[in-house]
Structure 1
Amino acid sequence: MGHVFPLNLQLAATLGTLFMALMVIFLRLRASNKPTNAKKILMPPIGMSTGFLMFVFPPFRIPFTWGLTAFVTGTLLFALPLIRTSRFEVGKDGQIYLKRSKAFILILFALLIIRMGAHEYIEQFITLEQTAGLFFTLAFGMLLPWRIMMYLKYKKLKENTPVTETK
């Protein structure tokens, strides 16, 4: 017996990626209304790093050079614009906030469109699982350097400003 709506894994993966990316953008916008701290900056790459467990399963494995290329691409193409547009400011309450930037939101949307287009193209040549592993590595290559640089900027501002730490 067939399904009323046949399951298309590639379409489901694309829609899932789009939904998650839009959620991240929405959460980033809301985060600028609350004070930040080192934990809030550093936990996302730590939490995301558990995703590398996917490579324990053979269908997700990719050659090391593919992974390295994806990580470096994430760093150079995706992280650098985010690093340049991520700024902190001290609020009236003496706490540190991520300053909202119109360019930051535009960059997030542009990166999303580039990533989705590349994903659609590359998945024609390799398996869906390998595509997932490749783009996870690319995303981690974006997130890790961006968050490290955010932390360094936060730390420098915190050292130069008497700040009340948030919970």
Structure 2
Amino acid sequence: MNYNPILIIIIFVAAFIFYRQIISMYKPIKGKGVRILVTLFLLTPGWSLIMNPNAEVAPLEVTIALLFGFLLSIPLILTTGYERREDGSIYVKKSLAFIFLFLTLFAIRWTLRGIIDMDSDSRMKLFFITACAYLIPWKVLSFYKFRKVYLMN
């Protein structure tokens, strides 16, 4: 397998997001929840994949990647919740389903990466588009869910 620097960054970002989500089940979320959205800035190195002139993908392939990403975001959105505990702080609801789903989605993407037969630049572009299509809605709706709990009292 070709482990280029962008792939290493993508693995790091996925691991960091997973780590932060698990930690938030045991440590309260500080502030007004803006940190939930800040993790989206970790996607910025990947934007070079979209601008890569060597990556040739058809509009239909981009559309399929976007739809696939949106579909992957649905279980993450449904299994992410927030609760105010007895200490008055807000935590991510403990969810074994979330842990299983996040790891399963990463495994699906990793497996598809090896199955799809196209040049590596185009494949990386499509997988980055897919990642954005599930991470952005998941994080934005997670922020919205957090703010609902935050404003409840």
TM-score w.r.t. length of structure 1 = 0.76
Alpha carbons of structure 1 residues 119 and 58: separation in structure 2 relative to 1, 3 Å: same
Alpha carbons of structure 1 residues 17 and 41: separation in structure 2 relative to 1, 3 Å: closer
Farther off after superposition, 39-48 or 81-90: 39-48
Of the three residues 7, 25, 32, the one matched with 2:18 is 25
Alpha-carbon distance in structure 2 between the residues aligned to 1:97 and 1:47: 22
Number of residue-to-residue matches in the alignment: 151
Task: Determine whether 1:158 maps to 2:128.
Answer: no
- 2:118 matched residue in structure 1: 126
Contact map agreement 2:17 2:39 (CA 8 A) in 1: no
- 1:91 matched residue in structure 2: 85
Contact map agreement 1:42 1:147 (CA 8 A) in 2: yes
Alpha carbons of structure 1 residues 127 and 10: separation in structure 2 relative to 1, 3 Å: farther
TM superposition shift of 1:110: 1.4
Alpha carbons of structure 1 residues 54 and 112: separation in structure 2 relative to 1, 3 Å: closer
Contact map agreement 2:77 2:141 (CA 8 A) in 1: yes
Of the three residues 120, 135, 139, the one matched with 2:127 is 135
Higher gyration radius (CA) = 1
Task: Determine whether 1:56 maps to 2:51.
Answer: yes
> CA offsets per residue over residues 115-149 of structure 1, 9 Å max, x none?
11111111xx2111111111111011110111111
Task: Determine whether 1:35 maps to 2:35.
Answer: no
Alpha-carbon distance in structure 2 between the residues aligned to 1:45 and 1:62: 24
Alpha carbons of structure 1 residues 121 and 16: separation in structure 2 relative to 1, 3 Å: farther
SS at match of 1:147: helix
Contact map agreement 2:66 2:133 (CA 8 A) in 1: yes
Alpha carbons of structure 1 residues 13 and 157: separation in structure 2 relative to 1, 3 Å: closer
SS at match of 2:112: helix
How much identity, in percent, do the aligned residues show?
25
